[in-house]
């Protein structure tokens, strides 16, 4: 029997048009939430919102643009009421060793993966105060807990997000707003599949010695030797966003198949 933990609550999911984001959107919808599917992928975002029905709307959102964040929150409030949950899910990946990573690529990854989440937190706080509290779930990565050669910009952005999460948790605690991070390992999404696109992967540079990650080899060495399905991460996100996690803030929740344990011998 499906729980209805988000009945009457307004939820924004960034990068919500596909992959993990779409899974999160469907998970919240199943539990009664009203949803804003926020993404730059308009066709896919509108299809998903139409699939859910009158409790969902698509909102074009480039998370690096402050004015688009303001419009997203305003439209969410107008349609459904004050925002209770923000899932900062949007992200990009740009493989490449540090020595050969162009500064523009570095800045783009940090802009989307870190500054975008900062702007999201700033944008929703007044609305969450009107809702008399809320929950922010920042989607980091297992790479925010270790070093990984060949994706320096991505790793730096995910480590930075840990500090942002903890600081926001302290600053917003008296407003009844909890802020936590989730740290997935390899998940079966467009970002990790062969047909990766511009929405999740910045253009490869043939001059860079590392342009593709050997994800299959990495997965084979895990204690749980497979990729996660998006729904497995969604269940963690739903928990953190719900009142069931009412005593958790500034915390880091890992779902990595044992990646941090090291490779199985």
What are the start-end ranges of the H helices in 15-59? 19-30, 42-52
Count of beta carbons in the 10 Å neighbourhood of residue 88? 29
Strands 83-88 and 10-14: parallel
Classify 257 in phi/psi space as left (phi over 0), alpha (psi -120 to 50) or beta: left
Give the integer Cα–Cα distance in Å for 31 and 242.
10
Whether the CB-CB separation of 69 and 120 falls below 8 Å is answered with yes
CA 12-238-199 angle, to 5 degrees, is 50
Cβ neighbours for 67, distance < 8 A, ≥ 6 positions apart = none
Give catalytic status of residue 154 as yes or no.
yes
Catalytic residue among 6, 28, 69, 154: 154
So which residues are the catalytic ones? 154
């Amino acid at each position: 029997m499906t729980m209805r933990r988000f009945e009457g609550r307004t939820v924004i999911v960034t990068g919500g048009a596909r992959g993990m984001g779409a899974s999160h959107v469907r998970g919240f919808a199943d539990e009664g939430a009203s949803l804003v599917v926020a993404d730059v992928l308009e066709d896919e975002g509108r299809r998903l919102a139409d699939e859910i029905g009158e409790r969902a709307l698509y909102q074009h959102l480039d998370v690096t643009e402050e004015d688009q964040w303001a419009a997203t929150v305003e439209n969410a409030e107008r349609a459904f009421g004050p925002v209770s949950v923000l899932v900062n899910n949007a992200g990009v990946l740009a493989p490449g060793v540090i020595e050969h990573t162009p500064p523009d690529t570095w800045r783009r990854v940090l802009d989307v993966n870190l500054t975008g989440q900062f702007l999201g937190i700033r944008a929703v706080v007044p609305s969450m105060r009107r809702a008399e509290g809320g929950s922010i779930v920042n989607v980091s990565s297992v790479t925010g807990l270790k070093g990984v050669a060949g994706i320096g910009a991505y790793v730096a952005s995910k480590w930075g997000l840990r500090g942002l999460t903890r600081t926001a948790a302290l600053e917003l605690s008296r407003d009844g707003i909890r802020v936590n991070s989730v740290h997935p390992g390899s998940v079966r999404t467009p970002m990790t599949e062969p047909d990766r696109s511009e929405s999740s992967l910045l253009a490869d540079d043939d001059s860079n010695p590392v342009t593709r990650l050997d994800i299959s080899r990495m997965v084979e060495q895990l204690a749980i030797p497979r990729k996660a399905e998006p729904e497995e991460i969604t269940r963690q996100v739903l928990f953190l966003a719900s009142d069931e996690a009412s005593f958790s803030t500034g915390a880091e929740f890992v779902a990595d198949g044992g990646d941090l344990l090291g490779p199985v011998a």
